Chain A
Amino acid sequence: QQQVKQSPQSLIVQKGGISIINCAYENTAFDYFPWYQQFPGKGPALLIAIRPDVSEKKEGRFTISFNKSAKQFSLHIMDSQPGDSATYFCAASMLGNYQLIWGAGTKLIIKP
């Protein structure tokens, strides 16, 4: 019940296309859902995060869509660029809890 399942494991998208990465969870006590982006040779960095009181959050080309009833959330990258090529991790945590539960990661490659 503590798991966060992330898919796909890897993704290849053409430049200008939409990249979509999905995550699913079981524990309804989760109430904070961040996405982290990791470039080769670097540590992960917070990209965008959402709470379940909203269904969507947008920051530039990056959007989180949240479906509370389905217990799923996804990251959409619009107009994907080669510079977006990285590994993306979803995560979740519970109110009052400090520990993040991580998805397995998605390696995204944007083809020029």
Chain B
Amino acid sequence: KAGVTQTPRYLIKTRGQQVTLSCSPISGHRSVSWYQQTPGQGLQFLFEYFSETQRNKGNFPGRFSGRQFSNSRSEMNVSTLELGDSALYLCASSRDSPGANVLTFGAGSRLTVL
């Protein structure tokens, strides 16, 4: 079966611009989580959506936002980009099993902010 698909895979933006990243989860997976990965900070949790509702949120500024559609596809948006936003943004989907949540990650969207 198809895995988690993230688009675009690579993108370059300049400071002050905004960016939208897309994630298509595995069919049947209703939970979608987003992570920021940088070399020095590991995996930083951004937010998680389930049934179009944000269920959990990490410690990121309001410039980072997301949403989930009725087909479970999700988008995240970063406004007013800063150099420090350069990172690999990972999306993960799961069947939503509390206490044993198995995440399936996409390959990520690598954002470079100049």
Contacts and interface: CB of A to CB of B under 8 A. Distances in A.
Interface of A: 31-32, 34, 36, 41-46, 49, 89, 93-100, 102-105
B101 A100 contact: yes
B58 to A, nearest CB: 9
A47 B46 CA distance: 23
B92 A43 contact: yes
Contacts, number: 62
A43 B26 CA distance: 14
B42 A105 contact: yes
B103 A96 contact: no
A43 B4 contact: yes
Q: Which 4 pairs of residues, A with B, have the shortest CB-CB distance?
A: A43-B105, A104-B42, A95-B99, A96-B98
B14 interface: no
A32 B100 contact: yes
A34 B102 contact: yes
B43 to A, nearest CB: 5
B68 to A, nearest CB: 14
Interface of B: 4, 31, 42-43, 45, 48, 50, 55-56, 90, 92, 94, 96, 98-108
A44 B105 contact: yes
Contact of A97 (B42, B43, B98, B108): B98
22 contacts: A42-B108, A43-B4, A43-B92, A43-B105, A43-B106, A43-B107, A44-B105, A46-B102, A46-B104, A49-B102, A93-B100, A95-B99, A97-B98, A98-B55, A98-B96, A98-B98, A100-B101, A100-B103, A102-B43, A102-B45, A104-B42, A105-B43
A93 B99 contact: yes
B90 A43 contact: yes
A112 to B, nearest CB: 25
Contacts of B31: 98
Nearest to B92: A43
A98 B105 contact: no
